[in-house]
Copies of this chain bind each other. A is one copy, B any other.
Amino acid sequence: MRNTKDRVTIYQVAQKAHVSLATVSRVINKKGNVTEETRERVENAIKDLGYKPSGLAQALATNKTTNIGLIIPSANYVYISNILNGITEVTKEKGFTLTVFTTSHSREEALQTLEKVIVTHVDGAIVFDDELSEEDVINLNSYSVPTIVINKNLQGEKTASISLSYGRLLASLIEEHYQRNDRPMTFLHVHDGGRLLAHCEHIFCETHARLNRPYQIVNVDDSYKRTYYDFLERFKETKDGYFIAYRDSIAAAVENAATDSGLEVPNSVEVLSLVGTKYANIVRPMLTSFEIDLQEVGRRAMYMLIDLINETLYDKSYSFEARLITRDSTLH
């Protein structure tokens, strides 16, 4: 019990328990070699004084912070909060602490962020951010920060990666589509949409080229509202199409615009969402989507990181394969 005082130190505990601070340290860290009796005395002193060890001092002395850093873009997407959730779960379970570093759309800021990560002395980091290049991650490594990179292939002494694979599924989906149907597909391009989207777009083009089919790429704004209005315009002329969107909100924008223009989904307009979340189920028609359990990705990343820190991670890459969840926004 205590009032607002200065921090109680290990020394004060020692004094109160009539032992040396080394002994107190031992009971805190449960390092045996302490009589039952003195241990009790110390523990009482700790309780009486309301002593809590200083993580700072501990970290400085042991060179371990039990703190891990997460680097993500500041964009406020549902799937980011999913991944965050998976990470925090394991983070707690394993007694770590999580500090979050966000990055905006500028390289310079990304570097500052990196700087902070280093200064903060994290035991390890998880990077899920396109703003950071491979060099940056390697740089992080040179400061002995074990790192798990999500969605970027990169392995090394202190680096492992998790890849999110949508490409294969996308290619086969496109092929199957044209086996039943001639409706040309349109890919919704988002400026600065990141690697994942870019890769999908690449696969999209490549597959169409291979099949010798025409296709379209259209630019959309990464916001529900803008895209909704854009497509309201578009559907005044175009009356059908198969649209592939990055994420639920954008897909829903297209779908809603179609419906509100009197077009039938999926009969006239089909829509597919690449990064599906629970909202794919909630909008109507329900969105056909690709899904990867991002929460599980977060958990996995954290488990891998812990192994990496303990130098017991042997397989330095892991891949999550997207699944197609067929719902009502596409013809089967």
Contact = CB atoms under 8 A, between A and B. Distances in A.
Interface of A: 2-7, 50, 52-57, 59-60, 65, 67, 74, 76, 78, 80-82, 84-85, 88-89, 92, 97-102, 115-116, 118-121, 141-144, 157-158, 224-225, 249, 252-253, 256, 259, 278-279, 281-284, 295
Given A82-B76, A88-B100, A99-B97, A142 B56 contact: no
B102 A54 contact: no
Given A65-B56, A121-B55, A7 B281 contact: no
Given A65-B56, A101-B97, A144 B4 contact: yes
Given A74-B85, A102-B92, A143-B7, A54 B97 contact: no
Listed residue (A56, A88, A116, A295) with the most chain B CB atoms within 10 angstroms of its CB: A56
A149 B299 CA distance: 29
Count this chain's copies in the assembly: 2
A4 B141 contact: yes
A57 B259 CA distance: 60
B284 A284 contact: yes
Listed residue (A54, A82, A253) with the most chain B CB atoms within 10 angstroms of its CB: A54
B102 A100 contact: no
A7 B118 CA distance: 10
Contacts of A253: 282
A7 B122 CA distance: 13
A81 B85 CA distance: 10
A4 B60 contact: no
Contacts of A88: 74, 100, 102
B249 A158 contact: no
A6 B82 CA distance: 35
Given A89-B74, A256-B282, A282-B224, A120 B97 contact: yes
Contacts of A158: 4
Given A74-B88, A99-B99, A283-B282, A144 B224 contact: no
